[in-house]
Structures are given as structure tokens and as C-alpha cells.
Amino acid sequence: MGDLTTQRIMELQSRLRIRLAEVGFEGVPASNVAHHLAEIAGLARDLSAESVPLFLELSPAHRQVLAEVVRQVKRDLDELRDAIQDMEPDFTELLKCLEQR
């Protein structure tokens, strides 16, 4: 991810931590949810705004470039899967926290 995307993710992560604290969800689980959710949002945005449109716009004659775009999409999907799996236990705790109030 580029520097601009990293900056956006950091800003979103900070906003998420504030919101999670507002709803009474804090500590390590909240930090994990904020981190992974911001990462997921950034990756999903990059896929929908950049990688997929680029794949659709490139000429089929540019097979090498298309292959690199597909490799990047695969890396992004792997990162998304990992972030979702890493966040799942803490996200379950967030749901429990919200349902108790």
C-alpha cells in the first residue's frame, strides 16, 4: 500500500479507537479491531478503486501487466483474509460488549 493509503488507514484506525472507546470497548481487543478493520477498509478501497478497474481497462494484449495486476489482487485478497481471521475473536467480543448494554 502506498503512503497515502497508509496515512488514511492510520487516520481511520484512530477514529475507530475513539468510537470503540465511546461504546465502552477498550484495551487490546479494541486496538486489534481498530487496526484490522482499518486495514480491511483500506485494502477493500484499493481493490474497488484501483486494482479491479485497472484489470478491466487494460488491453488483453498486455498479458504481462495483467498478470502483475492479478498477482497484486491475490496479495490483497490474502491480506484481507488474514486481517479478517485475525480480527474475528476480538470482533466477537465487540459484539458481546454491544449486546450487553
Three-state secondary-structure class, residue 61: coil
pLDDT tens for each residue of 22-77:
999 999 999 999 999 999 999 999 899 999 999 999 999 999 999 999 999 999 99
Distance CA 80, CA 77 (A): 5
Inside any domain, residue 58:
yes
Inside any domain, residue 27:
yes
Inside any domain, residue 101:
no
* 1 touches 9 (CB < 8 A): yes
- Would you place residue 4 in the very low, low, confident or very high pLDDT band (cuts 50, 70, 90)? low
Asked whether residue 91 carries a pLDDT value surpassing 70, the answer given is yes
pLDDT of res. 6: 86
Q: How far is CA 6 from the centre of its chain?
A: 11
Inside any domain, residue 47:
yes
**Domain span at residue 57?**
3-91
